[in-house]
Amino acid sequence: MEINGTNQIAFGDTGTYIHQSADGVLDLVSDNEIEINATTIDMNGAVDLSSTITVAGNADLNGDLDVDGTTNLDAVDIDGAVDMASTLQVDGAITSSAGATITVA
């Protein structure tokens, strides 16, 4: 570990370092992957992701899913079977493509 001439704490090579990129902004930079291992990771603040989210286990949102600025999931594209253990409430029409069937038990 070293502090180099650009005020970075570098690890191993020039592609992995910590530095302050702007006032109040701390950057953790890696040329491959940043791995965080802990029983609990507590983040206080908004999370801004600019790529894909991949979840290997369950995603517990513990509240409403905000998809389009509301607390409603307005459009869902499901390609496959849906198994529900509770009630599905539809406030509007149910439509199907030509040849598709809707079965209600």
pLDDT band at residue 75 using 50, 70 and 90 as cut-offs:
low
The reported pLDDT for the residue numbered 92 is 77
Of residues 73 and 41, which shows the higher confidence score? Answer: 41
3-state helix/strand/coil string of 9-29: EEECEEEEEEEEEECCEEEEE
Q: Residues 14, 6: contact at Cβ < 8 Å?
A: no
Alpha-carbon distance 93 to 79, whole Å? 19
2-42 pLDDT per residue, tens: 566 678 888 888 899 999 888 888 999 999 999 999 999 89
**Across the chain, how many H-helices and E-strands are there?**
0, 4
Q: Residues 31, 15: contact at Cβ < 8 Å?
A: yes
The reported pLDDT for the residue numbered 100 is 76
| Nearest CA-CA partner of 27 in 6, 52, 55 | 6
pTM of the model: 0.50
Which strands form 9-11's sheet, in the order they lie side by side? 2-3, 9-11, 13-22, 25-29
